[in-house]
Amino acid sequence: MLKNIHVPEDVVNTIVASVEADQNGAEERRREQLAGLKQRLAALRTRMDRMYEDKLDGRIDGEFWSRKMAEWRTQERALESAAQGLSVPVSLDRALSATRILELANRAHFLYLTRNSAEREQLLKSVLLSCATDRVNLWLNYRKPFDLSCSPLTRLAHAR
């Protein structure tokens, strides 16, 4: 049941490269968005400082100043919150997970043959969603992404 799980090396390399490129692009977009937010926040704070000076110089009344400052403080908090959300770099976990899954797919049969019964059980639990038998046939339902059949729900294999 594990012999048929295999992903050609060129496909593995293409998938891993695609996931890594996607993550690199996501990190670049995150940095650009964060820089844009910081720039907007700096512009807003400059505007708030100028307005405070205008209030001190008597160019605007207190009611207008209070209303605008409350509005801008709300914007400031929203920008700070958005910047905080973008402060953590994009993790490389997706690329590592894809690589590990594909390596497991390619080595599943070998690993099964070389492990003890507890490790075999863990491997089968990682690969199989469920299985059933009628004492003649064995029906296997592989977990994604190990299900390489045309039908996404089940895969049939005969018992040996």
Q: Which element (helix H / strand E) includes 158?
A: strand 155-158
Paired strand residues for 140 = 131, 155
Taking the CB of residue 146, how many other CB atoms lie within 10 A of it? 21
Please state, rounded to an integer, the average pLDDT across all residues of the chain.
Answer: 80
pLDDT beyond 60 at 153:
no
pLDDT, one tens digit per residue, over 43-86 is: 999 999 999 999 999 999 999 999 999 999 999 999 999 999 88
DSSP 8-class letter at 149: S
- Tell me how many degrees the CA angle 134-138-142 measures, rounded to the nearest 5: 135
Q: Is the pTM of this model over 0.85?
A: no
pLDDT tens-digit profile of 139-150? 777 777 666 553
Residue 95 contacts residue 17 (beta carbons within 8 Å): no
Give the pLDDT confidence of 77-110 residue by residue, as tens digits. 999 999 998 888 766 666 667 777 777 777 777 7
CA 140 to CA 153: how far, in whole Å? 10
